């Protein structure tokens, strides 16, 4: 086995290690048997799906997108349209076309369709936005996010407007989340190792050199954008079915901020960074939310004011950027050493 082959084989262990890490996390939480902890675990795994989806684009291309929360929004509503009971829909969403109003799909095909619709939307908008250079493209994705939010908040007959859509089937357990998170991780690893993924990372490292080598930056960015929107759409659908209630503002700036924070804290340069970032930030958020609700230490009641969670996460993000700008994992992946994978067989150069 050549050194190259051994390295290639070793890189396959990254998604396996990450899935094992998440499985261990779910098993650990399961062992506690606590309901609110179980919910937190399910939410964390949904965020893994979202952030890994986000990473497929942002990590490989080096372009920050502020628009991925909009794909989650579209996904959540598509799944609600397909799965809600017809009686409920005629009450809440009278403007839906007939065949959608009558539909009462199983949740799995609905989640897939949610992802596909988000991906189609990404294909259409990305075709326009991704022609811009990096920073201008980021700003355009921000405009896209605001555009989707404006439409969703005002298109009342179809989206329910700013009032929430309620009654979604709450089927998402930590294991459902783990399933989708694993799919996202495997696809992200496959995309990252594909020719398109490599080409896209080349444009991230040096745009001019990459285009001089004949890489069509626009095409690869669009491919990554579309794949990444699929998982954000699915993540949004799962989010809706975890809480049972959706609202356009649940998929706006605070979700964008949280996804960015997770990616930055873990390190945008690697898939493992995305996953570790979600775990670390989710656990921190859970702790802070409990502190905001108040804890009793001995005889004194102690609570942080509401909003301090965002302040602390924001400060943590700034500190990470100042002192460890590549994130906790600094662009490295969790990986088994190539020598282990190759076994005893000596690697030849």
Partner 1 sequence: MTLQLVFDALSLGGIYAIAALGIALIFGVMKLVNFAHGQFIAFAVFALIVPSTDAVAVMGLGAAPALVLVPALLAVGAGLAVASEYLVFRPLRNVSPVALMVASFALGVVIQNALLVIYGGRPKAISLWPELGKPVRLLGAEVPMLQIMVICAVLLVLALLAIMLKRSRVGLEMRAAAEDFGMARLLGVRANAVIAGAFALSGALAATVALVLVAQTGVADVRMGGQIMLIAFIATVVGGMGSLPGAVAAGFAIGAVSVALQAVLPIEARPFRDAFLYGLVILVLLLRPQGLFASASAKPRV
Rule CB under 8 A: say whether 64 interacts with partner 1: yes
Q: Is 134 in the site for partner 1 (CB under 8 A)?
A: yes
Residue 26 or 64: the one with the smaller Cβ distance to partner 1 is 64
Cβ nearer to partner 1, comparing 77 with 180: 77
Question: What is the C-alpha R_g of the chain?
Answer: 21
- How crowded is residue 144: how many other Cβ atoms within 10 Å of its Cβ? 22
Does position 131 interact with partner 1 (CB under 8 A)? The reply is yes
Rule CB under 8 A: say whether 292 interacts with partner 1: no
Please state, in angstroms and as integers, the Cα–Cα distance from residue 2 to each residue in 320, 329, 341, following that order: 38, 28, 12
Instruction: Check residue 253 for interaction with partner 1 (CB under 8 A).
Output: yes
Decide whether 36 or 211 has the Cβ nearer to partner 1: 211
Residue 139 lies near partner 1 (rule: CB under 8 A): yes
Minimum CB distance to partner 1, residue 155 (Å): 8
Please give the Cα distance from 311 to 147 (Å, whole number): 27
Residue with Cβ nearer partner 1 (131 or 332)? 131
Q: Which is nearer to partner 1, 108 or 315 (CB)?
A: 315
**Burial of 262 by CB count in 10 Å (0-12 exposed, 13-18 middle, 19+ buried)?**
buried
281 binds partner 1 (CB under 8 A): no
Q: Please give the Cα distance from 304 to 309 (Å, whole number).
A: 8
Footprint on residues 103-122 left by partner 1 (CB under 8 A) = none
Q: Candidates 190, 325, 330, 337: give the one binding partner 1 (CB under 8 A).
A: 325
| Residues 2-41 interacting with partner 1 (rule: CB under 8 A) | none
62 binding partner 1? (CB under 8 A): yes
In sequence order, the 6+-apart residues with CB closer than 8 A to the CB of 249 are 149, 153, 162
State the Cα–Cα distance between residues 117 and 154, nearest whole angstrom.
Answer: 20
- In the bound complex, what is the minimum distance in angstroms from residue 268's beta carbon to partner 1? 9
Q: Pick from 207, 244, 288, 328 the residue near partner 1 by CB under 8 A.
A: 207
Window of 20-28, 256-264, 328-336, 337-345 that interacts with partner 1 by CB under 8 A: 256-264
Show the tokens assigned to 258. 């949280």
Distances (CA, A) of 9 to 197, 235, 337, 338, 345: 17, 29, 10, 8, 14
Determine the Cα–Cα distance for residues 39 and 210; give it in Å rounded to an integer: 44
The residue assigned the tokens 């998170």 is 181
**Least distance in angstroms from the C-beta of 308 to partner 1:** 6
Of the pair 19, 73, the CB lying nearest partner 1 is at 73
Residue 200 sits in the site that holds partner 1 (CB under 8 A): no
Confirm or reject binding of residue 208 to partner 1 (CB under 8 A). yes
Stretch that binds partner 1, among 41-49, 114-122, 188-196, 308-316 (CB under 8 A): 308-316
CA distance 296 to 194: 52
- Residue 308 interacting with partner 1 (CB under 8 A): yes
Residue 330 makes contact with partner 1 by CB under 8 A: no
Q: Does residue 150 touch partner 1 according to CB under 8 A? A: yes
Report the sign of the C-alpha dihedral through residues 337, 338, 344, 347, in that order: negative
Q: Which of 214, 218, 309, 279 is nearest to 23 (CA)?
A: 279
DSSP string, 141-196: HHHHHHHHHHHHHH-HHHH-TTSPEE-------HHHHHHHHHHHHHHHHHHHHSHH
Residue in 23, 270, 221 with CA at minimum distance from that of residue 123: 221
Q: Which residues bind partner 1 (CB under 8 A)?
A: 62-64, 125, 128-129, 131-136, 138-140, 142-144, 146-147, 150-151, 154-155, 207-208, 253, 257, 260-261, 264, 305-308, 310-311, 313-315, 317-318, 321-322, 325
């Amino acid at each position: 086995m050549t050194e190259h082959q051994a390295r290639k084989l070793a890189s396959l262990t990254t998604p396996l290690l990450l899935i094992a890490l998440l499985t261990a996390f779910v098993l650990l939480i399961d062992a506690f048997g606590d309901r609110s902890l179980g919910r937190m675990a399910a939410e964390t795994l949904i965020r893994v799906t979202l952030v890994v989806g986000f990473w497929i684009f942002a990590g490989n291309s080096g372009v920050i997108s502020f628009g991925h929360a909009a794909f989650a929004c579209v996904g959540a509503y598509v799944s609600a349209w397909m799965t809600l009971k017809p009686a409920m829909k005629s009450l809440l969403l009278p403007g839906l076309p007939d065949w959608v109003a009558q539909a009462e799909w199983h949740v799995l095909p609905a989640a897939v369709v949610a992802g596909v619709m988000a991906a189609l939307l990404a294909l259409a908008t990305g075709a326009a936005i991704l022609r811009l250079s990096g920073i201008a493209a980021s700003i355009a994705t921000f405009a896209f996010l605001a555009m989707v939010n404006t439409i969703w908040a005002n298109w009342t007959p179809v989206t329910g407007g700013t009032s929430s859509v309620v009654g979604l089937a709450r089927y998402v357990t930590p294991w459902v989340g783990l399933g989708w998170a694993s799919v996202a991780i495997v696809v992200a690893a496959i995309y990252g190792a594909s020719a398109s993924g490599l080409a896209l990372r080349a444009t991230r490292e040096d745009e001019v050199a990459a285009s001089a080598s004949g890489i069509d930056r626009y095409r690869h960015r669009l491919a990554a954008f579309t794949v990444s929107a699929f998982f954000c759409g699915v993540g949004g659908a799962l989010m809706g079915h975890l809480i049972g209630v959706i609202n356009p503002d649940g998929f706006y700036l605070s979700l964008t901020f949280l996804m960015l924070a997770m990616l930055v804290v873990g390190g945008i340069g690697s898939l493992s960074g995305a996953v570790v970032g979600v775990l670390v930030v989710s656990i921190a958020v859970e702790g802070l939310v409990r502190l905001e609700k108040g804890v009793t230490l001995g005889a004194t009641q102690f609570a942080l004011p509401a909003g301090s969670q965002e302040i602390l996460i924001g400060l943590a993000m700034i500190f990470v950027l100042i002192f460890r700008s590549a994130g906790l994992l600094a662009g490295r992946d969790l990986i088994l050493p190539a020598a282990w994978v190759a076994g005893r067989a000596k690697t030849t150069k």
